[in-house]
Structure formats: structure tokens, C-alpha cells
Amino acid sequence: MHIKQLEKNKYRVWIDINTDYLGKRKQKSKVFYASTKRELNTQINEWVESISGISAQCRTVSDMCNAVWSQVINNKSPNTIHTYNDQRNRIDNTIGSLRLEKLSPRTLQMWVDDLSSELSPRTIRFTYSLLRNCCSIAVTWNLIKTNPCHDVSLPTVRKKEVQILSPEDFSVFCSHLDELPLDYKVCFELALFGSLRKGEVLGILEDEIPDDGRFYIKRARYSPNLGEVFVKETKTSSGERLCILPQLVVDDVIALRKQHIQSKLKYGKAWIDSPYLLKEENGEAFHASLCITRLQSYMKKIGLEPISFHALRHTYASICISLGVNPEIVSKRMGHSNLSTTLGIYTHLFEQKNNDDEIASALGTMLSQSVEKCE
């Protein structure tokens, strides 16, 4: 932008408006009459906004994201907001300073291609989706005229093969569980024999599991960063579901509670009385990262290839399927919002059907057999 005073209270203003098809700079100019600088700036801002369709207070990509951010995160869970903030930082650090009039499908394609050299296709798609959402809201709020997020080729996300314990690895895994501290043993058992997500395991309260092993999953606890803890309701209404644990796992839960009573007496005032079932030796609640690192260490110690914590939940599903359990029942036990989710993940494993009541007893039998092999 260039401003030239022609005479008292009279100014001519030039602004750049992109380039033509030959790359030549294009400009517009207009004469303004104003007695103060503030009055002149107001008129210029209104003129620029009318030409470009971009609000005078919303010049860059970061400005736009700031303007709509409250709506983007409205009614989102703390854990989702934490993820959005990571993606938002990525946008700010890469194209945040880009002026909105230069934000076009071509520019976005170059941005996506640059990100592809460093980030996974899944991360790129999530980041692009967030920017598209910001632009969509900005259009609704008349901050920009049109949404530039279209006709962009995004990297393909290859579907990962579901990671599970093979029957042989399952036997080895279970036969060494008694070598673990009781808290970690119960942690792994709840995921493997209860079909629980990591956050759901961490969200179980101290006295929530009754002696018959039948209880409802009601919440999940997340701690993406040290010192941050988010507790929220289950992902969907179907996520609040009945969990039935094998008796051997229930026995371990009961033993764990007794161990906590002894530890509380041992630590006295130093005991951190967390309300959750899974605790550190001093009573502090488990941090999510500990579940992952301890699992990796355990797998390495017993001579198995490392797996993700979520693979324990996948293993539960594969066991149910191998027993011939009806897909609808498996979906219900997994807490999926619809059957298509279950079929999409495990469709290649389904063969025949069986009864829902056989799951817990069959899992218990498999666990006890693995333990007996070790003795």
C-alpha cells in the first residue's frame, strides 16, 4: 500500500491486488478526503475490505484463525482442543503469516506438498481439515468471500493392518504377567480382557469394579502432557457399555485394592490418595505415557515384538471373532458407535457366530491355561 498526500485533507492511495496471468503486478487507487489520520485509515480499511473481501482486522491466515477460534473449539472436549492446538501451531508456523488474498488452492497445494516431506498423510489431512474449517467459518462471518480450501490433492492414508497378539504370543504374554508389579499387570489385563481403550483403563475408579466383574465404562482420562489431565464422558452413548471381566482378572483387582491399603499405611502423609484404580507406588494416578513405556519394556523383556497399547484391545476383538461371536455383539463390547466401524476394522477376521455369554468364560479359560503353562 502506498499513500500520497495531494493537498490538505486530500490523499491518493494505491494497493496491490494480485498479479495478472503474465505475472505483472496489478494495482487499484482511490482519492480520499479526511481531516485526521484516524479518519483516513478508517476509509482505507473499508475500501480495502470492499475490494478484497477480507476484513481489515483479518489480514493473514493467523489473523483469520484467531478470529474464528472460539467457534472452532466450541463444545469440544479438552483432549480434542489439545489436538486442535497442535494443528493450529503447525498452521501458524508454516503459512500463518501469509496474507489472505494470496491464500488460493494453488498456494494450499504447495503448502500440502511441503508438509508431505516431513509429516504423515494422516497428520497432513487433519491439519488441512482444521484450516478448511476455519475458512468455512470465516466465510459465514464475512471475514473472507470464499473458502479457498478446494481442489487440493491430499496424500493418501494407507490403512494400517490391525496389530494383534498371535495365539503363541498371547500365551507368552499371559504366562509372564505375574512378573509385573500388580498395578501394571491389572492395567494390561483390563485392556486385553475388557476391551478397554487406554483412557478408559485410566478412568476406572478405585472401587468401581465389583466382585462379579460386571461394570459399566463411564469415562476416560487423558494426560497428553505431563501435568495435564482431562477427564470426559465416553466418546459416544454406545461407549458407555457393560464390561464383564474374567474371574482371574477380578481377583487381581481385589488384590490390587488390598495392596493400596498397605501402601497407604506405609507412606502415611506422603501417600497421594488418587481416586483411580491404577496408581503409582505413592498413590499418584498413572500417567498415560507410563502405560505405553511399561508395555514396551514388558514386551522386550519377554522376547516379543513391541505392540501398541491399543493392540491389546484389538487382540480382545480377534479372540471374540475366533470364538465365532456375532459381529453385533463384538461391536457392542468394543463400544463402537455402529457396526460398520467394527466390520471396517475386523471384517477379514469374521467367520462364524457364537453366544455373548461365552466371551468372558472363554477369555478366563485362555488366561488360566496360559498361567498354568508357566507353573
CB 196 within 8 A of CB 313: yes
CB 240 within 8 A of CB 197: no
Characterize the bridge pairing of strands 25-33 and 10-19.
antiparallel
DSSP string computed for 119-165:
S-HHHHHHHHHHHHHHHHHHHHTTSSSS----S-PPPP-PPPPPP--
Closest to 331 in 3D by CA, of 317, 315, 310:
317
Helix, strand or coil for residue 276? strand
Measured over the CA atoms of residue 41, residue 43, residue 44 and residue 50, the dihedral's sign is positive
How many helices and strands, by DSSP H and E, does the chain display?
Answer: 14, 7
- Alpha carbon of 347 to those of 55, 350, 362: distances in Å? 50, 6, 21
- Residue 237's pLDDT is 59
H or E element: which one contains 231?
strand 230-233
- Residue 336's pLDDT is 80
> What phi and psi, each to the nearest 5 degrees, are found at residue 14?
-115, 140
- Residue 366's pLDDT is 64
Per-residue confidence in pLDDT tens, the chain, 375 aa:
788 888 888 888 887 765 544 556 667 888 989 889 889 888 887 777 666 555 556 789 999 999 999 999 998 877 788 889 999 999 999 999 998 888 999 999 999 999 999 999 999 999 999 999 999 999 998 888 889 999 999 999 887 777 888 888 999 999 999 999 999 999 999 999 998 999 999 999 999 999 999 999 988 888 766 567 888 877 555 568 889 999 999 999 999 999 999 999 999 999 998 999 999 989 999 888 888 899 999 999 999 999 999 999 888 888 887 777 777 888 888 888 777 777 776 655 554 444 444 556 666 666 676 666 555
Global pTM reads 0.68
Question: Nine-digit cell at 326?
Answer: 456375532
- Residue 229's pLDDT is 80
- Residue 369's pLDDT is 66
